[in-house]
Amino acid sequence: METLVLATRNRHKVEEIRAILGDGLTYRVLSDWPDAPELRETARTFAGNAALKATQVWHWLKQRVMRGEGGEGGPCWWVLADDSGLEVDALDGAPGVDSARFAALETGAPGNSPDSENNAKLLRLLRGVPPERRRGRFRCVLALVGGTSPDVEPAVRFFEGVCEGRILEAPAGTGGFGYDPLFVPDGYEESFAQLGPEVKNRISHRARALAAMARWWAGQRTESVPRS
């Protein structure tokens, strides 16, 4: 069974990824290693940030192997990172790559902002915007690296998923995380926070990106089976 290292400490993302990809893999997360690095997210695109995180973790695993600390698999593990966020048309695509630290942009506070503060800022900026102009989308870009020799720089493979919808005027529901209480996906009348994980894990931006990755993964496995 191959090992997939999830380059995140966000337990909600980990739960979603495991629920969508299933039990055919062994999963490791950054919290499994107390000395795992804090990941840089300095790019201004989702793809750029996802690639930064995935390659940082791959090279960190490689260094562990070189020090004799890598254990089975080492840098031949696959590393998966995602960067995702909410794009709102009335805000010219904001918060975008700044989705997790949207509120902190005003205060200069380090790190990500609490979900409640990000949601409050979004609602404030959209105050008075009519329903027909409250269009937006969740976008997710996955970066997958690995499956190669530790002596070879790994290729980065990208998979993208988008979920279109609209932004509510007030939060609805208590499930999910991030902007889920404010986002109603097209074809539904309830927010992600109300629809629950079973529905969200089928139609979300991350679910669609993971489905694209799973199709590629299945193709790779098929091609690796010897033909008689």
- Among 23, 32, 83, 98, which one carries the catalytic annotation? 83
Q: Is 83 a catalytic residue?
A: yes
Question: Where are the chain's structural domains?
Answer: 3-223
C-alpha 208/C-alpha 189 separation (Å) is 20
pTM score: 0.88
Q: What is the CATH architecture assignment of 3-223?
A: Alpha-Beta Complex (3.90)
The more confident residue out of 82 and 22 is 82
pLDDT bracket for residue 161 (50, 70, 90): very high
What tens digit of pLDDT does each residue of 92-123 get? 999 999 999 999 998 888 888 999 999 999 99
Residues 84/75, Cβ–Cβ less than 8 Å: no
What tens digit of pLDDT does each residue of 191-213 get? 999 999 889 989 999 999 999 99
